[in-house]
């Protein structure tokens, strides 16, 4: 997993609540057995006017010029601001894979769906929860200022606006440390091999039917 420490980048707005993982990456792209290459199909049904299928040459497809990410002012955006319950629905990790592959490293919203939240951190995406009214202001700032950027610092847990105004955010310490150091969860867990074995031995005695 790639580390995350600090990022200053263009911000794109996703102005609707309950953006679900089916919308983030439609199911036909889930047939891939790889982890990469989902970026061109991020938000596929909103981004293109024709129906997307795996294996298509996306550069030849009909672009929906109304869709926010297709507007030239948001090209190269690496920070996404969103509304309530972002990432709800299916547990597909293809959703964070697609967001990451497209270039997003930070998503800011009032709330996120639970599994999506976990999945994103496992892939080095920083999700930040802010109050709805703080976000409302950001949506307005982005709308009014072309090329609007935010500076996100994980170590100090701050977001700095271009006018110098600083917003603090909360994050679980364990997620923060994993992200700052780019740590591999499996490697960390395997430091507890003895604990796992001891647990299994005890459980086999107490509840043998679980080990048949």
Partner 1 sequence: MAGKTLYDKLWDAHVVHDNGDGTALLYIDRHLVHEVTSPQAFEGLRLADRKPWRVEANLAVPDHNVPTTDRSKGIEDPIARIQVETLDNNCHEFGITEFKMDDIRQGIVHVIGPEQGATLPGMTVVCGDSHTSTHGAFGALAHGIGTSEMEHVLATQCLLQKKSNAMLVSVDGKVGVGVTAKDIVLAIIGKIGTAGGTGYAIEFGGEAISDLSIEGRMTVCNMAIEAGARAGMVAVDDKTIEYVKGRPYAPTAKQWDAAVENWRDLHSDDDAKFDTVMNLDAAFIQPQVTWGTSPEMVVSVGDTVPDPLNEMDPVKKEGMQKALIYMGLEANMPISEIKIDKVFIGSCTNSRIEDIRAAASVAKGRKVADNIVLAMVVPGSGLVKQQAEQEGLDKILIEAGFEWREPGCSMCLAMNADRLEPGERCASTSNRNFEGRQGQGGRTHLVSPAMAAAAAVTGHFIDVRDMS
Residues of this chain that interact with partner 1 (CB under 8 A) are 16-18, 20, 22-23, 26-28, 30-35, 45, 51, 54-55, 83-85, 88-93, 96, 111-115, 118-119, 122-123, 172-174, 185-186, 188-190, 192, 195-196, 199-200, 203, 207-212
DSSP E strands: which ranges in the chain? 6-14, 79-82, 106-109, 126-129, 149-153, 158-161, 166-168
Closer by beta carbon to partner 1, 10 or else 101? 101
- Structural Rg of the chain based on CA atoms: 20
Q: Give the sign of the dihedral formed by CA 71, CA 72, CA 74, CA 76.
A: positive
Contact 67, 42 (CB under 8 A): no
User: Cα(98)–Cα(42) distance, rounded to whole angstroms?
Assistant: 6
- Nearest alpha-carbon partner for 86 in 130, 46, 40, 35: 130
- Quote the Cα angle for 152-157-161, to 5°: 40
Q: What's the min distance (Å) between Cβ of 24 and partner 1?
A: 11
Q: Output the smallest distance, CB 114 to partner 1, in A.
A: 5
């Amino acid at each position: 997993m790639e580390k995350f420490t600090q990022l200053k980048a263009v911000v794109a707005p996703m102005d609707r609540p309950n953006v679900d993982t089916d919308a983030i990456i439609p199911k036909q792209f889930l047939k891939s057995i790889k982890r990469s290459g989902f970026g061109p199909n991020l938000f596929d049904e909103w981004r293109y006017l024709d129906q997307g299928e795996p294996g298509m040459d996306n550069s030849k497809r009909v672009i929906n010029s109304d869709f926010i990410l297709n507007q030239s002012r948001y090209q190269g955006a690496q920070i996404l601001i969103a509304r309530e319950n972002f990432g709800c629905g299916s547990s597909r990790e293809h959703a964070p894979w697609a967001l990451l592959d497209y270039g997003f490293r930070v998503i800011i919203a009032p709330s996120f769906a639970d599994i999506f939240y976990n999945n994103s951190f496992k892939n080095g995406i920083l999700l930040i929860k802010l109050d709805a009214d703080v976000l409302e202001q950001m949506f307005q700032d982005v709308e009014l200022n072309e090329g609007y950027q935010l500076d996100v610092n994980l170590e100090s847990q701050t977001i700095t606006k271009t006018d110098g105004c600083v917003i603090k955010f909360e994050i679980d310490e364990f997620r923060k440390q994993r992200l700052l150091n780019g740590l591999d969860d499996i490697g960390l867990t395997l430091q507890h091999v003895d604990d796992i074995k001891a647990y299994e031995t005890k459980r086999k005695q107490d509840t043998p039917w679980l080990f048949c």
